[in-house]
């Protein structure tokens, strides 16, 4: 029988029961490989429930450093009888199945083309532990021990990780090490090891860090100077606020007074949370909220107010599967249009698209600056895939000389000096007016903020010219935004090509791998990674420079495609949709497959330049 042979290049998946304590054991497994210098990329795949139902943890091991999902499973650690059939079916031919063999299973439960490794985990644990919870918990550590033998993961590395985790808790440390060796001893004596897939020490991790996007975004809010956070719990965004709380507790308590340099409120709902952010932004504090699709829906009235009244607001939207409650614990990039045009009337909002936790950190800090600079709502559009999974990424960096950009806030001195103050007046030609903060000056600079229309001096006015001046200025401001937002990143193909591909956000790692696969097949694409909406001028240049551009995104309705067509008035026929929307993170296989198919179809039936021009 064929046997998958691969060193430092395989995918292993753990099928567990939610609540069985497997999460920390599985993370331990991933981290141990990482500590051996081999890049890993784990993904939690969990349904929307608390306990008892299935949960998976998929670890991609890739010495080359591919961090996207590859597709296919080389080894399944099948710990959940409930999902057994589907789990077994997922294994690649020649792959491996590891299972708890305490209870015998009929032959029909296995496959002929995979290698089955049984280990009586329950029996071993029942013999050693008497406490039911211990029996359950240590079963996970025992299988990690066995896997370390099968895959040649160094036990010393795992022990060191235990040491870090249970520092000062010697009893826990000792019992975990014992469980690890219980698994190792059994595997060494009874199982054929090592397997065809295994780990070998390498030096490919460098100074990368291993962190999830939500923590990173929260840290970005700390560094970006956010002082007010208001939020309402919603998966997959809750851990942004929770991490912000944790970091603030660590970094933002005044050592002299013990007082907090921050305020965090768990609001009664998303409407109140954005309302608080609007109030704080109006009053000159940097404020943000974190939410997901249904929360954004509730916030839209306030988002329109913030847009029209020109108030800085930062919203971290960790996208999940929609519409409605949709797939709350699955990932998508399906809120683009809802956020870009949130609220009624003519509105347009700034969106940022971080590709990984490092950029979650950077974009969160940048969003706070941009919101103040532009006096408008700014969305950081992450998703569950980046937000809730730990990723290997570049270390966080901060320029000590960087100053928080507070934007155009007129001071009492400037007012006193007689500077003309018209709250909604475009003095600098960039569409961004000056503002004053409440309490600034006894007689100058006060104004009334409202969602109703007004003139340049903030006085209520329904006069057509006043209204048009204002809303056209807002468009001018949006054009300014295009020059201030993070610019797109170009990856040019190694040779000249008429084909391009546009992608953004969490699609990034899978895309990079797909590009290499495609190059191997002779398909060369220039790739542009969008990092923000409004689209900077270089996006149009890219579209103009290519005959055909694939737009890869994780939603059903090709929302980025729509934004490009709508905002740049590009001929839709030149944009080819590559859509992935089953709620799982997009894979390199999927992207490469979809593009190859399209390119081959075109070879059979080429689309002539002429016919395209007719469409245009």
Binding residues for another protein restricted to 152-211, rule: CB under 8 A = 205, 207-211
446 binds another protein per the rule CB under 8 A: yes
> Looking at 39, 54, 183, 284, which residue binds another protein (CB under 8 A)?
284
Nearest CA to 77 among 53, 93, 55? 55
CB of 154 to another protein, least distance (A): 17
3-state secondary structure 509-573: HHHHHHHHHHHHCCCCCEEEEECEECCCHHHHHHHHCCCEEEEEECCCCCHHHHHHHHHHCCCHH
Q: Please identify, using beta-carbon distances, which residue of 52 and 395 lies nearer to another protein.
A: 395
Task: With contacts defined by CB under 8 A, name the span among 40-48, 138-146, 226-234, 237-245 that binds another protein.
Answer: 226-234
In the complex, what is the shortest distance from the CB of residue 37 to another protein, in angstroms, rounded to a whole number? Answer: 11
Q: Which of 75, 222, 380, 388 binds another protein (CB under 8 A)?
A: 222
State in angstroms the smallest separation of the CB of 390 from another protein. 9
Binding region for another protein (CB under 8 A) out of 39-47, 58-66, 125-133, 279-287: 279-287
Closest to 529 in 3D by CA, of 494, 547, 495, 553: 553
Site for another protein in 398-437 (CB under 8 A): 398-400, 403-404, 436-437
Among 155, 194, 422, 451, binds another protein (CB under 8 A): 451
382 phi, psi to nearest 5 deg: -95, -170
Would you say 268 or 569 has its CB closer to another protein? Answer: 268
> Does the protein bind another protein through residue 273 (CB under 8 A)?
yes
| Nearer of residues 180 and 267 to another protein, judged by Cβ | 267
Closest contact distance (angstroms) between CB of 268 and another protein is 5
Rg of the chain's alpha carbons, rounded to an integer?
27
**CA 325/CA 613 separation, integer angstroms:** 42
Q: Give me the least distance between CB of 12 and another protein, in Å please.
A: 22
| Total count of residues recorded for the chain | 616
Which of 109, 181, 246, 252 binds another protein (CB under 8 A)? It is 252
Site residues (CB under 8 A) for another protein, limited to 459-498:
459-463
Q: Which is nearer to another protein, 435 or 512 (CB)?
A: 435
Q: What residue has token string 């008892």?
A: 52
Q: How far apart are CA 388 and CA 447, in angstroms?
A: 43
Task: Compute the least distance from the CB of residue 122 to another protein, in Å.
Answer: 35
Least distance to another protein from the beta carbon of 321, Å?
Answer: 28
Three-state DSSP at 93 gives strand
Contact in structure between 69 and 584 (CB atoms under 8 Å): yes
Site string for another protein, 304-343 (x = CB under 8 A): -x--------------------------------------
Q: Are strands 287-291 and 228-231 parallel, antiparallel or unpaired?
A: parallel
Sheet holding 287-291, edge to edge: 263-266, 228-231, 287-291, 313-319, 377-383, 350-352, 532-533
Q: Tell me the closest approach of the beta carbon of residue 424 to another protein, in angstroms.
A: 15
249 contributes a contact to another protein by CB under 8 A? no
DSSP class of residue 111 equals -
Point out which span in 113-121, 220-228, 527-535, 551-559 binds another protein (CB under 8 A).
220-228
Burial 74-113 (b: 16+ CB within 10 A, else e): bbbbbbbeebbeebbebbbebbbbbbbeeeeeeeeeeeee
Interface characters, 375-404, with another protein (x: CB under 8 A) = --------------------xxxxxx--xx
The residue assigned the tokens 């079963």 is 139
Using CB under 8 A as the binding rule, whether residue 267 contacts another protein is answered as yes
| Identity of the residue, 391 or 574, whose beta carbon is nearer to another protein in the bound complex | 391
**Burial of 520 by CB count in 10 Å (0-12 exposed, 13-18 middle, 19+ buried)?**
exposed
Q: Are 57 and 20 spatial neighbours (Cβ–Cβ below 8 Å)?
A: no
């Amino acid at each position: 029988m064929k046997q998958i042979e691969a060193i430092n290049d395989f995918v292993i998946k753990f099928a567990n029961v939610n609540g069985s304590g497997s999460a920390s054991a599985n993370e331990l497994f991933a981290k141990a490989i990482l500590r051996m210098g081999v890049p890993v990329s784990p993904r939690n795949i969990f349904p929307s429930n608390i306990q008892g139902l299935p949960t998976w943890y998929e670890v991609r091991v890739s010495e080359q450093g591919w961090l996207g999902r590859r597709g296919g499973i080389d080894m399944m650690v099948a710990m959940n009888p409930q999902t057994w059939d589907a789990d077994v079916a997922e294994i690649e031919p020649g792959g491996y199945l590891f299972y708890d063999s305490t209870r015998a299973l009929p032959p029909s439960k296995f496959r002929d083309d995979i290698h089955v490794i049984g280990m009586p985990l329950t029996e071993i644990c029942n013999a050693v532990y008497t406490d039911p919870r211990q029996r359950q918990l240590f079963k996970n550590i025992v299988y990690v021990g066995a896997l370390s033998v099968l895959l040649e993961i160094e036990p010393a590395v795992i022990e060191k990780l235990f040491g870090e985790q249970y520092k000062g808790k010697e009893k826990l440390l000792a019992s975990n090490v014992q469980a690890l060796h219980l698994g190792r001893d059994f595997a060494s004596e009874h199982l054929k090891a090592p397997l065809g897939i295994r780990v070998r020490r390498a030096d490919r991790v460098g100074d990368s860090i291993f962190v999830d996007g939500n923590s990173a975004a929260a840290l970005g809010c700390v560094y970006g100077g956010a002082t007010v956070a208001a939020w309402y719990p919603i998966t997959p965004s809750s851990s942004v606020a929770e991490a912000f709380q944790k970091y603030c507790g660590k970094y933002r308590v005044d050592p002299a007074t013990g007082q907090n340099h921050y305020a965090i409120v768990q609001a009664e709902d998303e409407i109140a949370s954005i309302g608080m952010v609007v109030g704080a932004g109006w009053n000159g504090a940097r404020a943000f909220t974190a939410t997901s699709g249904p929360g954004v829906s509730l916030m839209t009235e306030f988002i329109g107010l913030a847009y029209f009244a020109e108030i800085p607001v930062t919203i971290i939207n960790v996208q999940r599967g929609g519409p409605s409650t949709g797939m709350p614990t699955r990932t998508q990039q399906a809120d683009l249009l809802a956020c870009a045009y949130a609220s009624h009337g003519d509105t347009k909002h700034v969106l940022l698209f971080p590709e990984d936790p490092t950029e979650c950190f950077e974009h969160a800090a940048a969003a706070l600056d941009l919101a103040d600079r532009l006096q408008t709502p700014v969305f950081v559009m992450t998703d569950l895939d980046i937000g809730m999974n730990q990723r290997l990424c570049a270390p966080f960096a901060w320029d000590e000389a960087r100053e928080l950009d507070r934007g155009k806030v007129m001071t009492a001195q400037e007012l006193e000096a007689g500077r003309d103050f018209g709250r909604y007046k475009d003095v600098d030609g960039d569409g961004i007016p000056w503002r004053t903060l409440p309490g600034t000056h006894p007689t100058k600079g006060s104004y009334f903020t409202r969602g109703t229309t007004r003139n340049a001096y903030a006085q209520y006015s329904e006069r057509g010219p006043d209204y048009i001046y204002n809303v056209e200025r807002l468009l001018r401001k949006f054009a300014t935004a295009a020059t201030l937002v993070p610019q797109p990143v170009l990856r040019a193909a190694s040779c000249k090509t008429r084909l391009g591909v546009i992608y953004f956000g969490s699609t990034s790692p899978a895309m990079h791998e797909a590009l290499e696969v495609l190059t191997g097949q002779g398909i060369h694409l220039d790739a542009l990674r969008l990092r923000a909406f409004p689209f900077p001028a270089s996006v149009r240049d890219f579209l103009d420079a290519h005959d055909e551009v694939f737009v890869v995104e994780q939603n059903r309705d090709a929302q980025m495609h729509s934004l490009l067509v709508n905002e740049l008035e590009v001929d839709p026929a030149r944009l080819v949709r590559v859509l992935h929307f089953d709620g799982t993170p997009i894979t390199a296989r999927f992207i490469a497959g979809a593009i190859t198919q399209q390119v081959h179809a075109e070879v059979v039936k080429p689309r002539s330049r002429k016919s395209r021009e007719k469409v245009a």
